[in-house]
Structure 1
């Protein structure tokens, strides 16, 4: 079993553009934390939720396929559902967008059942500076690949962060596959 799995070209460049356009159909919302809390020292980003956008079935179909392939070949977790909507995040230099070290398992009804996290790189890596997705699965950090359309999957208990964006803006698509609590 690998702690981090990379799925190159999970989405094409045109599909990444389409997902970013979906995010801007309505005004993006300030990113919060669990239980409706906000702390800009902890997380500074703007979000759109995919389930609030029409015509997004193709995105979820692709996510399900990518998660199924990665889980079969690398994780072998007991996954039962996608209980939360995928989120599109914008980390902009205008706000020094970032997310400090955290895990995705939390106290909420769904956050407690998160087993596998998927993050898709939607932006061209040349369009921003900073904004690295860093993971700490063991005794050292790993930086996720930044090729546009690449999906990075990891157990939701793995510590990870997004470093501050210092130029431009970075978009990502994140969702979680749920299952019984880890034992």
Structure 2
């Protein structure tokens, strides 16, 4: 499933993110890539170990985790640590697939879904489209600042060269509690149906209760605790 979520960051959060990002220290982005991706990754990664970096990371993480549509779509079990990247001066991140597992020990997670939260307005840089190849289709994303693109980590994808300006984004990965993508889509549809039904039916009505029971039992059937 390829999905764009609008307004994950509001205007105030976006202004704060822009202010904080301007003070960060940047390092070679290849340091956070796998062996194959390292050869095509030509961008910079923010050092989030500072007080300013931690403040930005925490603010972005809270906004992402709180978004109801992301929660309904991804059924998150765990999130990876966030990365903030900057691409400029012809930089790019060539065609690659994300590592199937990230982290070590208890922090190790399976990457089911990837996301990119745009922090730069699309008119402030040239190029830099996120290009995702999935199920015979190619999606191009260059959204408004504050919007998030969610897509399967199984997909080949790339960031096209940035020919002018700066492209700053936050990226991360999700291990879903529902491992199967088709099952996640069914649950997403049912959650949308429940939200619609809640506008016309009492939550104690037989229709609403039956749907809620079905959602809960499917999550028991397909889910991982």
* More RCO (CA 8 Å, sep 6+): 1
Q: Quick one: distance in 1 between partners of 2:34 and 2:44?
A: 17
Matched, 1:81 2:92: no
Partner of 1:27: 25
Partner of 2:86: 90
Residue 174 of structure 1 and its aligned partner are, at CA, apart by: 0.7
Matches within 5 A, 1:1-183: 3-32=1-30, 33-34=32-33, 39=38, 41-50=39-48, 52=50, 53-56=53-56, 57-66=58-67, 69-72=69-72, 74-75=73-74, 77=75, 79-82=76-79, 84-93=80-89, 96-106=90-100, 108-109=102-103, 113-179=110-176, 182=179
Residue 45 of structure 1 and its aligned partner are, at CA, apart by: 0.6
Deviations 1:119-157 (A, max 9, x none): 111111111111101111111211114212110011211
Residue 34 of structure 1 and its aligned partner are, at CA, apart by: 3.5
CA gap of 1:49–1:19, structure 2 versus 1, over 3 A, is farther
Between 1:13-22 and 1:128-137, the stretch displaced more is 13-22
Conserved in 2, the CA contact under 8 Å of 1:8 and 1:150? yes
Unmatched 5+ stretches in structure 2: 181-225
Between 1:151-160 and 1:14-23, the stretch displaced more is 14-23
Query: Highest Rg: 1 or 2?
Result: 2
Q: Quick one: distance in 1 between partners of 2:152 and 2:81?
A: 18
Conserved in 2, the CA contact under 8 Å of 1:133 and 1:162? yes
Q: Secondary structure at the match of 1:88?
A: strand
CA gap of 1:38–1:175, structure 2 versus 1, over 3 A, is closer
Q: Quick one: distance in 1 between partners of 2:28 and 2:60?
A: 23
Q: Quick one: distance in 1 between partners of 2:160 and 2:140?
A: 10
Residue 163 of structure 1 and its aligned partner are, at CA, apart by: 0.3
Q: What TM-score comes out, normalization by structure 1 length?
A: 0.79
Higher share in helix: 2
Q: What TM-score comes out, normalization by structure 2 length?
A: 0.66
Q: CA RMSD in A?
A: 2.7
- Provide the aligned length of Structure 1 versus Structure 2: 173
